[in-house]
Structure 1
Amino acid sequence: MISIRLILAACLFLVPVSASSEGFHGFDPATYDGLMLPPATLQAMAAEAAQHAPPKNGETLVFGFANLQRDISFGIKVEQSIERNAEAAGIELLIADNRLDGPTALANAESFARRQVDFCIEFQTDVNFGPAIMQHFNRKQIGVVAIDIPMPGAAYFGANNPRSGFMGGSYLAQAAKVRFGDRALAEGYFVVGELPQSGAIPAMRTEGQIAGFLASLSGFPPERIIRIDTKNTLQYSFQQMSNALGRIPQGAPILITAINDQSVSGMLRAVQQQGRGADALVVGKGADELETMVAEENFIASVAYFPERYGNYLIPLSLMRLAGHDVPPAVTVNHVMISPANICQFYPEYECQGEPSFDYVFPQEAFVEHLATLRDKPELAGYEQLIPDH
């Protein structure tokens, strides 16, 4: 576990607790635009939180952040954004690496609880370890915000899984019709990289990908939909995709999407290694592997999650809860499609390349029908707040 000590001058004024989110220094999670708040605002939030829940060390608030994995692109960007916001707020930040592993995440939670952090931001992948992790925090009365994988009693921040999945799947299908014409339906294979270990909530993402794909490419045969386990890593996705290619005839269109950009990149590399890159069309998830998308002709788009903005939400949300305000049970990202043609609109450090090859249309009516099916699933009981209304 690595400790990063971030010390700034403490705020000199205190604000009493308000019952509404609008009263928390203008921060409302429901309408927030995701841009980083001014340091003075973050410091005022921290001062109010410290007044309501005095720091356990008697000096400054200490937050724990358990990262999903510290050496992958998405995790790096999330961590950096949390560091920026913690530093601006005057919070001491302790960082641990869950390394995509449930037992490691549990050990990190135990360490944070033993060190009596004031609050914890938890980013871990194994749904089965959530209750045990929360037991450690509950015993010490430590509040938690969970990223992407909900845990009992923690506030949720992360993906709008049904919508982001549906966007990616429908975009891929519409692009496939433009690229391959009638062959997309007649000969194509749709390969979806899943993450079973993370449970029913991220599964809404991959199920959304399939539902969105079928909504835009009606009549696609289910026997040509191949699901593989990605384990959330490039390497494992590469291995599983290499195996799956033996089931796909030479020359057939290979339409690929997955749980995240890392997995999609591994799957694409497997196709390329077997000399079949020209047959592939890829849509990612996360838009955190932008260099790969720009460099690879067949990596045509990714659903943006803006991990570099996560801390802009997470630190205010954590302070809001620590200050005694009601926090929404779920706060989700506003997703957009990013392609080489529009990348400069969201990431100015990249140049936009060419023109869109088609006009993407989100199948809203089909999406509403898909949401209705999710509400009837018994495995999603208790998670209704993570299913959007429309």
Structure 2
Amino acid sequence: MKVTYASFGESVGFVATVTHSIQDAADEAGVELSVLDNQNDAATAVDNARQAATTQPDVFIEYSGNADSNSRIASLMADADIPVIAVQYPIEGAPLFAIDNTRVGQVGGEYLADAAQDKFGDATPAALIVTLPQGGPIQLDRSDGAKEAISEVYPDIEFSEVDSRSDAAVGRQLAADFLTSHPDEPVIIWTHVDSVALGVVAAVEASGRDDVLVMSTGGDAAAFPEIRKAGTPLVGTVGLFPETWGPVLIDLAERVAAGDDVPDVTRPEKIEVISADNIDELYPE
């Protein structure tokens, strides 16, 4: 069986881990796999799909975040009579493998709020939500889930929301500005991705404050040294465990190629906060 996989963008550590997992699973299953890099670019994703269509794989796995390009990709693959599996972002007519992003936000928000109660007692903290609105429903569902869970613990809390533009330097400046504007109250900061969270943590550490807690999302290995560091404001990251996605996706591809019925949506089973308490168990050094 031949499978072509178009990656969201190999420059992103999380995505590269997904790709390695798919490659390992394909090797294990004896599946012939070709990998294309969409480079987080809509035009490149369409070009890659057009290239893939000419090679006639049994299944095309697409990981692309642009709705317009995904619509064009759906048409290209339908014309070529090639079944598609969509990763994270829907493609018309294709089964979807995607995280429950609302749940991801809820898990992180609940953990952050509980940590704040342990540290700050009854005081309601100021809350900063660092998100990526242009990321569409995935990012909005995550931030909404986080706010919902935090509000369960702090019913009267007020949220300030900012756009990181998925840039660690922007995240650092936004966090620094928020800390400056809230000098006399404890602060909690929820972030949508680990790379930005590390910029936020840098701002907290530069401020010298010990009344700030940060929660991240993703489970990228780049955040692990910070989580292991004593006294860090980073209480954890919601692990999405991308290294486990490959076997599920290759199994789905085999079933799709065989003409079997598959669910409209398949969820990764493992979502868990990675913190100082469990990181050595989950990811031994």
Shift of 1:74: 0.9
Contact 1:82 1:312 in 2 (8 A): yes
Where in structure 1 are there 5+ consecutive unaligned residues? 1-60, 351-390
Alignment of 1:1-390 (within 5 A): 61-183=1-123, 185=124, 188-220=125-157, 222=158, 225-238=159-172, 240-242=174-176, 244-245=178-179, 248-273=181-206, 275-276=207-208, 278-288=210-220, 289-295=223-229, 297-334=232-269, 335-347=271-283, 349-350=284-285
Write out per-residue CA displacement over residues 328-386 of structure 1, whole angstroms, 9 at most, x where no aligned residue: 01111231222111223322x14xxxxxxxxxxxxxxxxxxxxxxxxxxxxxxxxxxxx
Shift of 1:105: 2.1
DSSP-derived class of the 1:315 partner: helix
Contact 1:126 1:199 in 2 (8 A): no
Contact 2:126 2:182 in 1 (8 A): no
Distance 2:11 2:130 in 1: 21
The count of corresponding residues between Structure 1 and Structure 2 is 281
Distance 2:140 2:81 in 1: 30
Contact 1:66 1:98 in 2 (8 A): yes
DSSP-derived class of the 1:228 partner: strand
Shift of 1:307: 0.5
Shift of 1:212: 0.6
Distance 2:75 2:208 in 1: 49
> Is 318-327 or 143-152 further displaced after alignment?
143-152
Contact 2:74 2:92 in 1 (8 A): yes
Contact 1:191 1:257 in 2 (8 A): yes
Contact 1:67 1:97 in 2 (8 A): yes
Distance verdict in 2 for CA 1:81–1:325, change over 3 Å: same
Where in structure 2 are there 5+ consecutive unaligned residues? none
Distance 1:99 1:243 in 2: 32
Amino acid at match of 1:157: F
TM-score by length of 2: 0.88
Distance 1:79 1:130 in 2: 19
> Is 205-214 or 66-75 further displaced after alignment?
66-75
Report the identity percentage. Answer: 29
Distance verdict in 2 for CA 1:202–1:134, change over 3 Å: farther
> Is 231-240 or 208-217 further displaced after alignment?
231-240
Contact 2:204 2:233 in 1 (8 A): no
Shift of 1:235: 4.6
TM-score by length of 1: 0.66
Distance 1:312 1:245 in 2: 43
Distance 1:102 1:281 in 2: 36
DSSP-derived class of the 2:182 partner: coil
> Is 204-213 or 102-111 further displaced after alignment?
102-111
